[in-house]
Amino acid sequence: MAALSTAPEHREFPFTLKEYRRLAAFIHGRTGITLPDHKINMVYSRLTRRLRELGFLAFSEYCEYYLSPEGEDEIEYLINALTTNLTRFFREKHHFDHLAANLFSDLSADGIKGRTRLRIWSAGCSTGEEPYSIAMTYLEAAARLHCDTRILATDIDSSVVARGAAGCYGVQSVAELGKGRRYRHLTAASGNEWQVRSELRQLIAFKQLNLLDAWPMKGPFDAIFCRNVMIYFDNPTKARLVQRFADLLAPGGWLYIGHSETILDQKTVFRLRGPTIYQKGT
């Protein structure tokens, strides 16, 4: 039924395939996200409210606007609207079990194998459930150890980065944590929401970052999570990104990717150590 309501003849705003492809090419150039023709209805429905708000009558007008110098600020809105931010706490739980059993179990009172610094990057962190799951795993595995641990959480979408930094979640999403973790790591806040405790929030720096742009951080990272992000990219973009992750990982560092993703040409740099778990050579 949703498809019917946005079928061309029912559309409130005219949107031709040519205009859609122009918009898709623009988004691909800016974000790496591929928008095949069959996503036209999704794109239409995510943007109609915006056209109404701005008073445009057709997508052709909106496209002219965001491409004009006057519409430069609109690009952030456009990108935020077209990202897919689905996530949840402890999604693909085996990654967190692996982290606890490997990276965190290597910690001793002196730090990791004599080191005292631990750096983890959640690249494409969405609303923060992924980096908070990493932080919870760390505190549960290594709370007593005084390792200098920092988690960097980045996403291209500025609205999800702000939500992650606030660390407030609805009852439904925290229900997935189970009572133990919920009470240990969050506190009841106003409006039927729960907020992540400050000891977890302090471990994480949330920043907006487009993975296609230059990266300000130098690494090295002990682990990088880039899960369910590369599925939206084409193969050359994926391959470049995985190479850049390899460059930023410490020898022996871990790369965790999404359940439907693979890494393509970097088999010499990375060894597969478990389902969608790769380790950089030492």
Annotated catalytic residues are: 46, 155
- Is residue 228 close enough to count as binding ligand SAM by CB under 6 A? yes
Tell me the closest approach of the beta carbon of residue 123 to ligand SAM, in angstroms. Answer: 7
Q: Decide: 71 and 63 in contact? Cβ < 8 Å.
A: no
Q: Decide: 226 and 124 in contact? Cβ < 8 Å.
A: yes
Candidates 5-13, 20-28, 84-92, 175-183 — which segment interacts with ligand SAM by CB under 6 A?
Answer: 84-92
- Is residue 116 close enough to count as binding ligand SAM by CB under 6 A? no
Determine the size of the site formed for ligand SAM (CB under 6 A): 24
Tell me the closest approach of the beta carbon of residue 126 to ligand SAM, in angstroms. Answer: 4
- Is residue 276 close enough to count as binding ligand SAM by CB under 6 A? no
Site for ligand SAM in 127-166 (CB under 6 A): 130, 155-157, 160
Contacts 24+ apart (CB under 8 A), 194-198: 194/168, 194/169, 194/170, 195/166, 195/167, 195/168, 195/169, 196/128, 196/132, 196/167, 196/168, 196/169
Candidates 68-76, 140-148, 173-181, 209-217 — which segment interacts with ligand SAM by CB under 6 A?
Answer: 209-217
Query: How would DSSP label each residue in 61-82?
Result: HHHHHHHSGGGTTHHHHHHHHH
d(CA 64, CA 58): 10
Tell me the closest approach of the beta carbon of residue 158 to ligand SAM, in angstroms. Answer: 9
Tell me the closest approach of the beta carbon of residue 251 to ligand SAM, in angstroms. Answer: 25
Candidates 5-13, 141-149, 225-233, 261-269 — which segment interacts with ligand SAM by CB under 6 A?
Answer: 225-233
Q: From the list 135, 211, 224, 248, which residue makes contact with ligand SAM (rule: CB under 6 A)? A: 211
Which CB atom, from 131 or from 253, has the smaller least distance to ligand SAM? 131
Q: State both tokens at 65.
A: 């606007």
Site for ligand SAM in 229-248 (CB under 6 A): 229, 232
Instruction: Annotate each residue in 36-75 with x if it binds ligand SAM (CB under 6 A) or - if it does not, as one string.
Output: ----------------------------------------
Tell me the closest approach of the beta carbon of residue 154 to ligand SAM, in angstroms. Answer: 6
- Is residue 210 close enough to count as binding ligand SAM by CB under 6 A? yes
Q: State both tokens at 264.
A: 């393509």
Q: State both tokens at 268.
A: 């010499």
Q: Where are the beta strands (DSSP E) in the chain?
A: 107-108, 111-112, 117-123, 148-155, 168-170, 186-188, 193-196, 204-208, 221-226, 249-257, 270-274, 277-280
Sheet strands side by side (includes 168-170) = 168-170, 193-196, 186-188
Q: Cβ atoms within 10 A of the Cβ of 70, count?
A: 10
Tell me the closest approach of the beta carbon of residue 268 to ligand SAM, in angstroms. Answer: 25
Q: From the list 45, 85, 116, 266, which residue makes contact with ligand SAM (rule: CB under 6 A)? A: 85
Please give the angle made by the CA atoms of 179, 183 and 186, to the nearest 5 degrees.
120
Q: Cβ atoms within 10 A of the Cβ of 190, count?
A: 7
Q: Decide: 281 and 251 in contact? Cβ < 8 Å.
A: yes
Give me the residues that bind ligand SAM (CB under 6 A), please.
31-33, 83-87, 91, 124, 126, 130, 155-157, 160, 210-212, 227-229, 232, 258
